[in-house]
């Protein structure tokens, strides 16, 4: 499977938006604190596979 050029642009836009949102939320944390948070979040979610389609369907009314 390959992304089209338009798909690659959209993916790039989404990744940039995600990075900006992450910076807005975590801007008060220094890099070491962010790494600690990421590690804790990974431990908290270990073994809990995410089903994005199911999660998205819960948001649609």
Residue 60: pLDDT band (50, 70, 90) is low
The model's pTM: 0.58
Establish how many alpha carbons lie within 13 A of residue 34's alpha carbon, considering only the half-sphere containing its beta carbon.
10
Tokens of 55: 């999660």
Residue with tokens 């939320």: 25
Q: What percent of the chain has pLDDT over 70?
A: 95
- What is the torsional sign of CA 13, 16, 21, 22? positive
> Is residue 11 a contact partner of residue 3, using CB atoms and an 8 Å limit?
yes
Cβ(26)–Cβ(34) below 8 Å:
yes
Q: Where are the domains of the chain?
A: 5-59
Structure token pair of residue 44: 């908290």
Tens of pLDDT, residue by residue over 1-30, are: 898 999 999 999 999 999 999 999 999 999
């Amino acid at each position: 499977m390959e992304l089209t050029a338009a798909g690659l642009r959209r993916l790039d836009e989404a990744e940039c938006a995600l990075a900006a949102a992450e910076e807005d939320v975590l801007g008060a944390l220094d890099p070491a604190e962010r790494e600690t948070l990421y590690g804790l979040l990974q431990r908290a979610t270990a073994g809990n596979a995410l089903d994005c389609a199911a999660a998205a369907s819960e948001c649609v009314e």
